[in-house]
Amino acid sequence: MTCRGVLATGVIGFASVVLVFTTADAIAGRPIFYTPALLGGALFFGVTSPSDVTIAPAPILAYTGVHLLVFLTLGAIAAGFASIASRYRHVWFLMVNLFILVLTHASGVVLTLTESLQGVVSAWLVAGATTAAAAAMAAYLLWSNPPLRRELREREYREP
């Protein structure tokens, strides 16, 4: 996979989470940048309560920068796993499970860091955002990797 494909994978995951958080904020009637301001405030400025959130560029940009770096890393991991799975056909299932493990741990870190903010950043919201990101990245990787797509489509599953 090219560097552009790796970057695209990460940006797609990042954008998926942004979309989920933005949608959740809109549904809850909160300002559109509320969740990134909350998370940025919690990670960098000691915010421990949703009532202490200030929607300002500093926490929003701080969180967005970290969020983008994390997803660029996750995109590189996912692209690497897809590349391995397309070259070694028998390990695709292992690669999928390893990626799910990586995403689960990343979600756990977010939930641990925002434990005092569970009223706004619930486990369901993080799980939904993670699932959306994983699905979008997987769809892109399958679309951009015809040999892997063909392998998964044509694979016969036989009982041992």
* pLDDT tens digits along 85-111: 777 777 777 777 777 777 777 777 777
Q: With beta carbons less than 8 A apart as the criterion, state whether 61 and 117 touch.
A: no
pLDDT at 3 over 90: no
pLDDT at 146: 80
User: According to the model, what pLDDT value does residue 19 have?
Assistant: 96
Of 16-20, 72-76, 131-135, 154-158, the range with the highest mean pLDDT is 16-20
Helix axes 146-154, 92-113, angle to 10 degrees: 110
Q: What are 20-34's pLDDT values in tens digits? A: 999 999 999 999 899
- Pull the structure tokens for residue 105: 């741990």
- The full set of domain ranges for the chain reads 3-154
> How far apart are the C-alpha atoms of 151 and 84, rounded to whole Å?
13
CA distance linking residue 1 with residue 75, whole number of Å? 11
Confidence at residue 58, expressed as pLDDT on a 0 to 100 scale = 95
**What is the pLDDT, as a whole number, of residue 64?**
94
Which pLDDT value is given to residue 158?
Answer: 52
- What pTM does this model have? 0.82
| pLDDT for res 159 | 55
Per-residue pLDDT, 74: 86
Reply yes or no on whether the pLDDT at 157 is more than 60.
Answer: no
How does pLDDT run across 26-83, given as a tens digit for each residue? 999 999 899 899 889 988 888 888 888 889 999 999 999 999 998 999 889 888 888 8
How far apart, in Å, are the Cα atoms of 157 and each of 88, 94, 152? 16, 15, 10
